[in-house]
Structure 1
């Protein structure tokens, strides 16, 4: 009923799971991940106990393949499970009683698998896309792999839900959580596309700015920002535009992109997009 990919980033800092299914809220059931530990997906005849048990085994240093073997030892006929740990290849198990087509592919730091699929081309497409998209940011790379599996036929019964979970030590909101991304599309006619849209919004709002692209909040940039903020009802006082920018950005949920004395081009683009038309500030003679 499900196709998924579990993976570890090349630097070992991030772990993630992406999943889609003709099943309500698959993202609430299938994925589990812990920073500096690993990730897993439990599907087909889902056993939710695999999630805490698998992560507990990974924490003790058990290899991914041995985690899979241990978890499915008691009942393996209808189970499908994938695990990735802090090193080495991913591991995947598909029970012989899973509804066809069912199976998986594994590689260094990843595993793709599914059941009730259009055919093996679904997991092949996920694995090939994952390996070929190393230039993408980790979460976007996971969604690209899921999109490839969906385009290859996905769940042969149709579409309903999708989910994405990414963890990194201290990588969550405000640095106070390990959960970098936790997005779910529980019931939608095109859940993989909707998951991609949500990830784009999440990235815009919550990703940390790229230091190489930051602009000094001075000169013409400061003048433009002040005019835009004033048009939006956040007038700039004698101290300059920074206080007004902080006030506005908090209302727009962009506080993760604020840097003292500078402005993220992503924030400036959004500011330009939501403000009433403001003529560009005149340059000095």
Structure 2
């Protein structure tokens, strides 16, 4: 019921997750990223604890592949789970259990991994990876382009209703966490529209947290 990607920007060191699903609020349950460590997605009969566990293991020095091996060793019902990870070196790994739903697929490239289940066809995840690799610019925009490529390749077998985009940079909190938790229209385009509005302000929001004295104007009445 879901397709996603995790990715790293080799230039900025940012990590991100982008995801879409027929289920409600998919990004709230399935997207995880940690500054300086990596990103993970836990989906398909979701166990949200697997995302933080994967990040904890990578923060301890394990590669994405080593972390997912350890997650499989420690966790129950992994035959139902699909977990993706990218680490601080750009290495990727994917676990897709034998009970993944419907047509499922996975694909990897340098700095990017994609996985999905209940897909329209087996080529969706490869299209997502190629869409990410072909895009240029900010990591957030590249993630949006990759989700759009997945939709263009067929996406899910049925309609998608929720989507999300999460980015981490050099600070401890997500610098972007944009979500569409439910819509009868296209949630990927809803998140894309939110990114277009948010992206020019991203650095300003970080600056306001670090030192509001140097922050740009808030643009509200009475602000100078």
Task: Please give the range of the TM-score, normalised by the shorter of the 2 chains.
Answer: 0.7 to 0.9
Q: TM-score, normalised by structure 2?
A: 0.88
Alignment of 1:172-251 (within 5 A): 178-188=173-183, 189-207=185-203, 246=217, 249-251=218-220
Distance 1:77 1:136 in 2: 37
Q: CA RMSD in A?
A: 1.9
Distance 2:198 2:78 in 1: 37
Alignment of 1:73-84 (within 5 A): 73=73, 74-84=76-86
* 8 Å Cα contact 1:12-1:86 kept in structure 2: no
* 8 Å Cα contact 2:14-2:35 kept in structure 1: yes
Distance 2:66 2:111 in 1: 15
Distance 2:40 2:4 in 1: 10
Alignment of 1:252-263 (within 5 A): none
3-state DSSP of counterpart to 1:112: strand
Deviation at 1:8, TM superposition (A): 0.7
1:167 alignment partner in structure 2: 168
Distance 1:6 1:12 in 2: 15
Distance 1:23 1:37 in 2: 28
Distance 1:64 1:203 in 2: 28
Distance 2:201 2:88 in 1: 29
Deviation at 1:120, TM superposition (A): 1.7
2:93 alignment partner in structure 1: 91
Relative to structure 1, the CA distance from residue 88 to residue 166 in structure 2 (aligned partners, 3 Å threshold; closer, same or farther) is: closer
Alignment of 1:96-175 (within 5 A): 96-133=98-135, 135-170=136-171
1:62 alignment partner in structure 2: 62
- Equivalent pairs counted in the alignment come to 209
Higher relative contact order (CA 8 A, sep 6+): 2
Distance 2:26 2:50 in 1: 15
Which one has a bigger Cα radius of gyration? 1
3-state DSSP of counterpart to 1:72: helix
Larger displacement relative to structure 2 (77-86 or 64-73): 64-73
Deviation at 1:66, TM superposition (A): 1.4
Query: Residues 171-204 of structure 1: CA distance to partner in whole angstroms, max 9, x if unpaired?
Result: xxxxxx5321100000012100111000001023
Q: TM-score, normalised by structure 1?
A: 0.69
Deviation at 1:88, TM superposition (A): 4.1
Deviation at 1:52, TM superposition (A): 1.9
Deviation at 1:75, TM superposition (A): 2.6
Distance 1:251 1:168 in 2: 27
Stretches (4+) displaced over 3 A: 204-208
Deviation at 1:251, TM superposition (A): 1.2
Deviation at 1:12, TM superposition (A): 5.5
